[in-house]
Amino acid sequence: MRSAALRRCLAPALPAALPPSRGLCGRHTGGGGAAAAARKITENAKKSLASLKRQNPQLEPTLAIIQAHNDHLIQEANKNLAKEVGLRIIHICLPEGSSKDEIVSEILRLNEDPNVQGLALDLPESLYSSKVLNAVKPEKDVDGLSSVNLGHLVHGDVCDCLVPPTVCAVMELLENLGGKTVLLVGASGAVGAALQSMLQREGAAVISCPWKAPQLQNELRHADVVVFGSMKPDDVPVSWIKPGTTIISCSHDLLSEKRNYSQQNNSAAENAVGSLAIAMRMQNMVKAMERWIQSRQYRKWNLHCLKLQPLSPVPSDIEISRAQSPKAVDVLAKEIGLLTDEIEIYGQTKAKVRLSLLERLKDQPDGKYVLVAGITPTPLGEGKSTVTVGLVQALTAHLKINSFACLRQPSQGPTFGVKGGAAGGGYAQVIPMEEFNLHLTGDIHAITAANNLLAAAVDARILHESTQSDKSLYSRLVPVVNGVRGFSPIQLARLRKLGINKTDPETLTEEEISKFARLDIDPSTITWQRGSILISSQQMRALRIFSVLPFGCYKGRFEVECLVDTNDRFLRKITIGQANTEKGFVRQAQFDIAVASEIMAILALTTSPQDMKERLGKMVVANDKKGEPITAEDLGVTGALAVLMKDAIKPTLMQTLEGTPVFVHAGPFANIAHGNSSVLADKIALKLVGEKGFVVTEAGFGADIGMEKFFNIKCRASGLFPSVVVLVATVRALKMHGGGPNVTAGAPLKKEYTEENLQLVADGCCNLQKQIQITQLFGVPVVVALNVFKTDSPAEVDLVCKIAKQSGAFDAVPCNHWSAGGRGAVQLAQAVEKAANQKNSFKYLYSLELPIVEKIRIIAQKVYGAQDIELSPVAQSQVDRYTRQGFGNLPICMAKTHLSLSHQPERKGVPTGFILPISDVRASIGAGFIYPLVGTLYVDSKRELGKCNIREELQL
């Protein structure tokens, strides 16, 4: 219906500086008729849009119109005006008999289309139900007919709503309404309500009346202005309208802008809104674009922090977590400036954040970047996560400074082991702690699935190559589909790598087919881990688990580590492939903790989906029989791996006990990997906090390991540089380094740790001094955070802070966030704020152009304090191999015990004069680093060297 289509035109945007009603509709003229007003509005809309495009060259404003009638005149009018203004228009023409559900389905699709900024409806009257109108996203509702827009309008929130275009057209044609009586006839629903509200705001007395009302004749005789909301029935004579009455019709076709009633002895003239309403629709679209652009700009935080009421004695972590009621995550997201289409909600307290935010805020300056590291820890840990959470709670909840914590996701292994969860502790936690520590949003499961897919591809390729001819392999790899054989993009890339510059599968020679189809994987060189999540029931029946098999290689078999995210001792060594269907392909395998996968390290270091895909493709899984590396790209599974990781790449938003935001993303170990949360989480957080805000992230283990890798590996990948380092220390750990007895997880502390002993503290501060010196190697200011325990005496605390300052720390402050929440870390937050404004002369420890051995030596001597390094023959051979293969310019990721600066866990304090033994050297090419293994606990197989570090960390 034309009348319905015209009434449902776009609502104009609301310039805040204009008076209430005229500002709402952007009135341009005081008279001159609808056609003149339409021309004026169209011209102004065109100029406004041109200005927006000059400021935003990539902008392509798009209006989608859903039409479910056959009136092509209206369709052409919309297209012509949109073209004149400069809008791109999409017409979705549905059959005239379309149902409401079909309309809603199309609306929902367009709601999620990021290339459509405005959505309008041209429908038959019967389809304009609240279900249909409210399906349109309010921010795209340029017709202004949703309950959200109308609610704002009726309540006078003129800056937050869009007014229906037909209403604006009516208001454009009327002026000086104060004290006049306006009769609305046949104007019901959303348009009628909006008209009544607008007219009343102008001071008119408004009466609404249906066509069949018995009092209609009397009302028409007394009205100064009559607005027809729909077509006037023939049984309502014009003579009922008093002479001189202004008549506005919302129902007549576009070609008739005015109907004269003089031939009926009535001087009244009926003005039809016609093309004026469509011009208003285009104006609304331009105004909606202005709002859309404004909504994409950085938003000032409006954060409501949660109140804490710390108890004494401090309850258990789980009791504290459950006693606090977290905010709904969508509320938190809105408070920190995230848009509704930038989050994917998981339950009530977690949400994935889409990477599109980085594009939206690309011009927003970054905030300050803070790294939390620690001294060489006891097996109990010294509270880096707790300090991280306490610091952001202090910054945001107490100093009113925007801040974000970026933490690693914990593995189930440590969580269910002695170490426990990683959500912080006491009154400095991420909540809910159960959600944080268990599963979260499934990222580790996605990594396991991707890891297992690649392992399955390796096994399948070896099996098929050993049982099939070149021709059969080629036919399977490049099958005929619908009579045509063609290479996929990934196969074309492999052909180029092989030096075969052909694109037609039928033109390859027999030699080229063999070269293309066969990877010739050397089973003894396979390094890729394997997991159980993708093992089929058939494979499971064939799997025998041996808990007593010795480590090492067996004749005719090769060993591959396997992957599971729990400490299952009986899966350390297994034999698989014993089913008859595997044709004698039996081998040793081994499960490992899921977060040790190279895919986890890639997730933590990637900067975009494309970068992740490229890194996944570079992962080396084995060598061929000529000694050349075989990658995931060679196996043709890169795209599949990337698809499995498509959601895991998005950081997860949570909150602290005081309602401040936290990103939880990635969880690589700090020995065989770099031990930091993701680059993407840091980048997004730095944009969100604003130029004066702070992003606080944590590095695993001591500064000699996690911080060194943060600087030399993560900062190289991200291009980000920290403003300050917070170095966490405890009196307990310093006493241990000063000669105190061993600290054992699960065992009571000896009296040396619970009674004042200033000498032990003073002697142990050598480790703190060394870690400060390590930090200074990178040119970054350091603040020492002394994590205070109830057994620490004031004298011990004062002594540590004094020595730290004398050793070059910018400041050293005691922290009580565990027992007091953010309030207990306010002094630390103030020190960090001051330190972040100091001169920063950040520099890397070594150049990537140096040889692998020289880079290892620099780390060993300058960071650990070693006299020199010593490479085993195996390690030297691997260094030579990686250099020959072109991997010599990668950074170094040392896999070393975290319990000592040396390779010997029992050597505390600051060991000197030792030779650092490098047992083996391995590479995570996709992640982008070489990792030397320090120590030789296992010697049965080169694959077991350095395994002590992983198991030591997890306390298996």
Catalytic residue among 27, 201, 354, 419: 419
- Count of alpha carbons within 13 angstroms of residue 937, beta-carbon side: 16
507 is catalytic: no
- 650 vs 638: CA distance, rounded Å: 19
Token reading at 490: 């990934």
Contact 875, 918 (CB under 8 A): yes
386 is catalytic: yes
Catalytic residue among 517, 670, 860, 895: 670
541 is catalytic: no
Taking residue 439's Cβ as centre, other Cβ atoms within 10 Å add up to 15
Contacts of 198 (CB under 8 A, 6+ apart): 21, 24, 25, 153, 163, 167, 170, 171
Tell me the angle at which helices 489-497 and 510-517 cross, rounded to the nearest 10 degrees: 110
Main-chain phi, psi angles of 147, to 5 degrees: -60, -35
Catalytic residue among 436, 789, 914, 929: 789
Contact 838, 722 (CB under 8 A): no
DSSP state letters, 83-142 = HHHT-EEEEEE--TT--HHHHHHHHHHHHT-TT--EEEEE--GGG--HHHHTTS-GGGBT
Q: Tell whether the torsion through CA atoms of 362, 364, 365 and 371 is positive or negative.
A: negative
- Residues shown for the chain: 956
DSSP state letters, 35-90 = HHHHHHHHHHHHHHHHHHHHH-TT---EEEEEE-S--HHHHHHHHHHHHHHT-EEE
- 137 vs 942: CA distance, rounded Å: 60
Amino acid at position 624, single letter: D
Residue (of 218, 225, 222) closest to 199 by Cα position: 225
Catalytic residue among 378, 386, 652, 656: 386
Residue (of 597, 607, 602) closest to 618 by Cα position: 602
301 is catalytic: no
- Taking the alpha carbons at both ends of the chain, their separation in whole angstroms is 74
Q: Where is 930: in which H helix or E strand?
A: strand 929-934
Token reading at 119: 């959505």
Token reading at 937: 């606990």
701 is catalytic: yes
- Count of alpha carbons within 13 angstroms of residue 944, beta-carbon side: 16
Catalytic residue among 228, 711, 818, 887: 818
Contact 366, 687 (CB under 8 A): yes
Catalytic residue among 301, 701, 710, 929: 701
Q: Where is 782: in which H helix or E strand?
A: strand 782-787
Taking residue 219's Cβ as centre, other Cβ atoms within 10 Å add up to 18
Characterise 491 by phi-psi region: left (phi > 0), alpha (psi -120 to 50), beta (else): alpha
Contact 932, 894 (CB under 8 A): yes
- 397 vs 821: CA distance, rounded Å: 10
Token reading at 692: 């004066």
**Across the strands, what pairs with 880?**
none
- 936 vs 946: CA distance, rounded Å: 6
626 is catalytic: no
Buried b (16+ CB within 10 A) or exposed e, 741-780: eebeeeeebeebbeeebeebbbbbbbbbbbbbbbbeebeb
408 is catalytic: yes
- 673 vs 532: CA distance, rounded Å: 22
Residue (of 808, 812, 809, 839) closest to 828 by Cα position: 812
Token reading at 507: 């033109």
Catalytic residue among 408, 530, 587, 823: 408
818 is catalytic: yes
Catalytic site residues?
Answer: 384, 386, 408, 419, 670, 701, 789, 818
